Structure 1
Amino acid sequence: MSATTSARSRLGFGLIGPRRGRHTVSLDELASLALPVGDDGTVIGVDAEGRPAVLGINRPTPYEVTLIGGLWTAQVLALRAAATGARIAVETGRSQAWTALAQAAGGGQPCISLHDVGRVPPQGASAGSPVVVVRDCGMRPPRGRVVAGPWQSVVTLLPYLSPVAPRLMDKSSLVGVQRVSPDEAAQIGRIMNLPPAETQALSTLADGVTLWCTDRDRQFVMTRATDAESGLLGSARRMD
C-alpha cells in the first residue's frame, strides 16, 4: 500500500469517498418539505375539495363505528382496512355476500374471516396485529360477544335507521350515513344535531357518498372504487 493510499484510508471504513456538500436546509425552508397527506389510517374517499379523507380505524383505545348504508361501502372499508395490515372479522348472516371478498383479499393470506352471527371468537388484537370487526347482522344486530377494545375496532352496518340505531349511534365514536328516506333523515338530523341543509341532503346523496359525523365534525365523502375493487365488488351502490 502506498503512502498516498494509506493516508486516504480509514480503519474499518475503506477509502474516503469524494467530498460533497451536505444535504441540509435552513429552518425557514423546512415548511417547503411538508407532504400533502392526512392522518394515518385508511383512505375512505375524497372530500368536497378532492382531498383524501382518511379514517384512523386502528387505535390503542376502543373505537366503534356505525354505518347506516350499503354493503358495498362496508366491503370497500373492510378491504382497505385489510390493506393497512388489520385483520378483519366479519360477523354476518349472509356469508355468501362476503365469500368472494374474503377469498380475494390478502393475496392468499387469511386476513378476512367470516363468522356466523354471535359466533365471533376472541381475536387477540394487538398493536402489531390490529383487528376490525365488521358486524353485518341486519336491522337488529344482537349485542356482540366481541366488543371494541385496544387495537380492536367494531363497525356495525345498518341498512336503514332501525329501532336500535339511536343506541348504537349514541355510543359510537363515528357515524356514517348514506342515502336515507326524508323521514329517516329528519330523525338522524335530530339525533346527530345536524344543520337543516345537511339533514335535507341525506335523502338525495349519490351512491358512494357518505356523511361521516363525530361529536364535533362532519364531512361528506365520496368513495370511488379502484379498478381492482370494481372488478371484485362492482360499482358503488346504496342498495344490494
Structure 2
Amino acid sequence: MSVHTTGPAGPSGRGTGGGAGGSRAAARRTGRGTRPRFGFGLVGPRRDRHSVPLEQLEALALPVGDDGMVIGVDAEGRPAVLGINRPVPYDVTLIGGLWTAQVLALRAAATGARVAVETGRAQAWTALAQAAGGGQPCITLHDVGRVPPQGASAGSPVVVVRDCGMRPPRGRVVSAPWQSVVTLLPYLSPVAPRLLEKSSLVGVQRVSPDEAAQIGRIMGLPRQEYETLSTLADGVTLWCTQGDRQFVMTQGTDAETGLLGGARRMD
C-alpha cells in the first residue's frame, strides 16, 4: 500500500502551491525535493566565476622564503634562514660565543626539534633549558660523552649541540637523518681543521688576525673576507658552505635578550 500526502485542499479542491508546477518552483527555491544527480549529488548554488587578469596574477604571490629557522639578517636586512632539520646527516661547526649557540638552540626548539646539549658547563645552560618549551623537556642537558640515543625521525627531529671546549672528544651521538650536530668551538683549536673540513656549514665569529688567516686557508676565503673576521661586531657571523658565504647579524628577540642578555662574543 502506498500513502500519498497532500496539502490542505484549496477552494478548487487541489493542493495549495499551484499544483505540480508550483511544487517544482518551490523545490527549486528551497532545494528540497530536487532529484539527486547520479554520482554528483544535488545541484548546488550558482556563483560567478572568480577570475583575475593575467597581468595582475603576480599580485597574489605570497612572500614564502626558505624552510628553517631565522638566524639573523644579511647585509641587505633580509632574513637569513638555516634549514637545520634535514633528512640527511648535517654537521655544523661554530667558532664563536656561547650566546650565539644558545640562541640557535632556542630557535631550533621553536621549530619543533628536540635539542640535546652535551656540555661540561651545565650551569651555563640550566636557565635556558628550564625556560624553553613552557615546562616541556624540549632542551635536555647531558654530561660530555653521556648523550643517549635520541631516536630522531621526520616527525621528531633532533639537534645535538656539543659545547665541549677547545678539544671536543668524538661524540657517541653523531649526525644522522633528521639529527643535526652543532659543535661550538670558542676559538680555533688543533681539532678545528678536521671539524671544518667535515662540516656541511661553518660559522665564524670574531677571531684573532692569526686565527683568521688560518681559517681563510682552510675554508679557501678571499683575503678581504678573512681579514674582516678579526673586526666583526658582537652577534655577526660569517656562515660558509662549499659554494656560498654570507655575513649574518643575529639579534635577540625580547624574550631571548631577557633570558640570555645582549649579543656577545666573549663569555
Query: Would the TM-score normalized by the shorter structure come out above 0.5?
Result: yes
2:130 and 2:43 map into 1 onto residues whose CA distance is: 54
How far off its partner does 1:92 sit?
Answer: 0.2
1:49 and 1:24 map into 2 onto residues whose CA distance is: 36
The answer to whether structure 1 residue 212 and structure 2 residue 239 are counterparts is: yes
How far off its partner does 1:105 sit?
Answer: 0.6
Equivalent residue for 2:195, pick from 148, 157, 168: 168
How far off its partner does 1:196 sit?
Answer: 1.0
1:58 and 1:25 map into 2 onto residues whose CA distance is: 38
Alignment coverage as a number of residue pairs: 239
How far off its partner does 1:36 sit?
Answer: 2.9
1:157 and 1:233 map into 2 onto residues whose CA distance is: 17
Residue 90 of structure 2 is matched in structure 1 by: 63
The answer to whether structure 1 residue 109 and structure 2 residue 114 are counterparts is: no
Structural mapping, 1:1-240, within 5 Å: 3=23, 4-8=25-29, 9=31, 20-25=47-52, 28-240=55-267
1:194 and 1:5 map into 2 onto residues whose CA distance is: 80
1:118 and 1:105 map into 2 onto residues whose CA distance is: 23
Query: Taking structure 1 as the reference length, what is the TM-score of the superposition?
Result: 0.93
8 Å CA contact 1:69, 1:177 repeated in 2? yes
1:202 and 1:238 map into 2 onto residues whose CA distance is: 12
Residue 12 of structure 2 is matched in structure 1 by: none
Decide which structure has the larger Cα Rg and report it.
2
1:21/1:121 CA distance change after superposition, 3 Å: same
1:43 and 1:203 map into 2 onto residues whose CA distance is: 25
Q: Which amino acid aligns with 2:71?
A: I
* 3-state SS in 2 of match to 1:203: helix
8 Å CA contact 1:43, 1:52 repeated in 2? yes
Q: Which amino acid aligns with 1:217?
A: D
1:27 and 1:170 map into 2 onto residues whose CA distance is: 49
Q: Which amino acid aligns with 1:183?
A: D
Residue 20 of structure 2 is matched in structure 1 by: none
Determine which structure has greater relative contact order: mean sequence separation of CA pairs < 8 Å that are 6+ residues apart, divided by chain length. 1
Q: Which segments of 5 or more consecutive residues in structure 1 lack a partner in the other structure? A: none
Q: Which segments of 5 or more consecutive residues in structure 2 lack a partner in the other structure? A: 1-6, 8-16, 18-22
How far off its partner does 1:144 sit?
Answer: 0.2
